[in-house]
Chains A and B, each alone.
Chain A
Amino acid sequence: MVSRCTMSRMAVIQVRDLRKTYRVVRKPQGLAASFKALLRRTYKDVRAVDGISFSIERGEMVGFLGPNGAGKTTTLKLLSGLIYPTSGEVSVLGFVPWERRNEYRRQFALLMGQKNQLWWDLPAIESFRLHKEIYEIPEEAFLRVLDDLTELLAVKDLLEQPVRELSLGERMKMELIAALLHSPSVLFLDEPTIGLDVVAQAAIRRCLREYNQTRKVTVLLTSHYMRDIEALCDRVLVINQGRLVHDGLLSDIVNRFAAYKVVTLRFADGRMPDQFGPVAQVLSRTPPTVTLRVERTSVAEQAARLLADYPIEDISVEDPPIEEVIAQMYSAGIAGLPAEEARDVVTGRP
């Protein structure tokens, strides 16, 4: 399934057959069962990451896609050394993340959109100064990077304001600055634009792109906003139920996984058929225009038939929106993936 698992020597991030199984306590329902559970706990093994391999080279910006609970955040936590894997190998910049060596920690950053690192009651600049010491950043480098970033994100005059008084967007920009201050060469971003308005999202995207281009920073990014991914990443990893189902170009997702195309027809004299056959489904009908969803394999044949039978003024064939394809990938359980396969291994324990 994985189309790209070459382990080149240039790779900054190398992941081989990574697995993480969480053991969670099962909470039984009902009073009697709860009492029983006090004596005899049942555990459930959740395979959050189930044998994934990939490698990312220096300066790449890779999107990490998948539905909630697919294993994206777990993978990012493994790569940043917050958790230990059940099995498998990871090397980032030549380090094993979960050893948490200071040399490694000075070279990467993990930014989680829903967690904050800044001191709530202090101006952001105080937190930045603290970061400067924690990461042992030289004064000139600190001032230069801070200047660049505050300029880029237009938050220069907010530095002295207590963080709690900032808007969500402003705060997120400050969080991003905090994550970039020590000039990390690897950046993990988990939903960096979540909850932000369009303008703030665009500002953060612009900053990330510029930063990636000027400094050759390697970025692995998850986002629910497909626009983030489209704007920033050529390559995407798609993960579902802990397994990698796609590793390649974003545009390839559509070619590989879209089962249909969207065909829009405009009929010349208002004469149009009532039925379009079993392989075409009507999405909308506003004479003289009809939008159809046609199975990929029969698009050419259908179009030819319609063009022959009716006076058609205009025809367009488009791929469905990528969000839809991906949503469909998730819900269908991609071919080759054992769907609800024994995911819940229940073990009784004394």
Chain B
Amino acid sequence: MSSRAVRKYAVVFKVALAERLVYRGDFFVATFLRFLPIITTILLWRAIYDGAGRDNVGGLSFANMVAYYLLVMVVRAFGSMPGLSSGIARDVREGDLRKFLLQPIDYLTYLLALRAAHKLVYYVMAVGPYAIVFWLCREYLPALPGARSLGLILLTLVGTLLLGFVINCLLGLLAFWFLEVGSFLYLFMTVQYFLSGQMFPLSLLPDGIRRVVTLLPFAYETYYPTLVLLGRMPAGDIARIVLVQAVWIVILAAVVRFAWARGLRRYAAFGG
């Protein structure tokens, strides 16, 4: 891309920042509330560990387990794309896509710039509530990573963000073929909740199933990055995870481009 083109999306980013900062109100409280469901999960695991009579379930101690759920929240802050797929579906259905076809701007790159801005605002706002919760739970958490692995960790999180982006784009683009994608998105979210290791660490799955599930991009979107944050991984493994993430991002981005091109032809055929 030329520098002018980059500038274009940089301004989208800036304008989106400005727009996001308009809504602040109950953000602080809402961020705390997101942690509430974890309490139930943790109590459930407490009972499981007590029942097992040992501090090891699937290779994780109880403290690890609590840390896992807390860190999943951090990873999800990068990978989750609220409103992305449904937003694309709405743009397709209601014809708002039109202006992106009229203007010399690429819709998908535009969405990425927009999302990056939304994420940035979110991190700035959420860092306070997260810090408080993590301080309260400090005894469960691993030591802070050193400066050297911090770089790799950030890279994994960027990988998570991009993976989340392409996956959700693809889901949203389904609207070109199906008028109503809402219920499908809901179904997908549920399956993804399991496959990405948000429900429980994938290491708890029976071997055969685990081997298949950990091949899918979803594992690289949440499960592996969470393990990286847990600090239970040598640098070589982290690098491998980043690499697999990159491969998935490239493959899925190509599929997204293909779906976009095919979808547009169809969109045009049905009235634009």
Contacts and interface: CB of A to CB of B under 8 A. Distances in A.
Interface residues of A, number: 32
Given A81-B101, A126-B18, A133 B265 contact: no
Interface string B83-110: 0000000000001101101111100000
Dominant SS at the B interface?
A: helix
A101 B146 CA distance: 49
Contact of A102 (B98, B99, B104): B104
Contacts of A83: 268-269, 271-272
Contacts of B7: 133
Interface stretch (A103-111, A310-318, A336-344): A103-111
Interface in A97-120: 98, 100, 102, 105-106, 109-110, 112, 115, 117, 119
Contacts of A105: 102-104
Contact of A134 (B98, B103, B269): B103
A74 B272 CA distance: 9
A324 interface: no
B4 interface: yes
A80 interface: yes
B124 to A, nearest CB: 19
A133 B10 CA distance: 9
Given A77-B272, A84-B268, A130-B11, A106 B102 contact: no
B102 A110 contact: yes
A211 interface: no
Contact of A122 (B18, B103, B268, B271): B18
Contacts of A84: 265, 268-269
A129 interface: yes
A307 to B, nearest CB: 57
Nearest to B2: A136
B232 interface: no
Given A23-B269, A77-B272, A82 B101 contact: yes
B102 A82 contact: yes
B143 to A, nearest CB: 43
B98 A115 contact: yes
B104 to A, nearest CB: 4
Interface residues of B, number: 25
Contacts of A117: 99
A252 interface: no
Contacts of A134: 8, 11, 103-105
A129 B15 contact: yes
A274 B14 CA distance: 77
A134 B99 CA distance: 12
B12 interface: yes
B18 A115 contact: no
Given A82-B101, A105-B103, A121-B22, A136 B15 contact: no
A323 to B, nearest CB: 28
Nearest to A122: B19
Contacts of A82: 98, 101-102, 268, 272
Interface in A67-88: 74, 77, 80-84
B270 interface: yes
A109 B104 CA distance: 11
A22 interface: yes
Given A106-B104, A134-B8, A98 B22 contact: no
Interface in A118-175: 119, 121-122, 126-127, 129-131, 133-136
Nearest to B16: A119
A129 B104 contact: no
A98 B99 CA distance: 14
B19 A121 contact: yes
Interface in A6-62: 22-24
Interface in B249-268: 265, 268
A344 B95 CA distance: 26
Contacts of A106: 104
Most buried by A among B7, B95, B96, B102: B102
Contacts of B18: 122, 126
Contacts of B12: 130, 133
A22 B99 CA distance: 21
Nearest to A120: B19
Interface of B: 4, 7-8, 10-12, 15, 18-19, 22, 95-96, 98-99, 101-105, 265, 268-272
15 contacts: A81-B101, A82-B102, A82-B272, A84-B265, A102-B104, A112-B98, A122-B19, A126-B19, A130-B11, A131-B103, A133-B8, A133-B10, A134-B8, A134-B11, A135-B103
Interface of A: 22-24, 74, 77, 80-84, 98, 100, 102, 105-106, 109-110, 112, 115, 117, 119, 121-122, 126-127, 129-131, 133-136
Given A82-B101, A82-B268, A134-B11, 7 more contacts: A112-B98, A121-B22, A126-B19, A129-B15, A133-B7, A134-B104, A135-B104
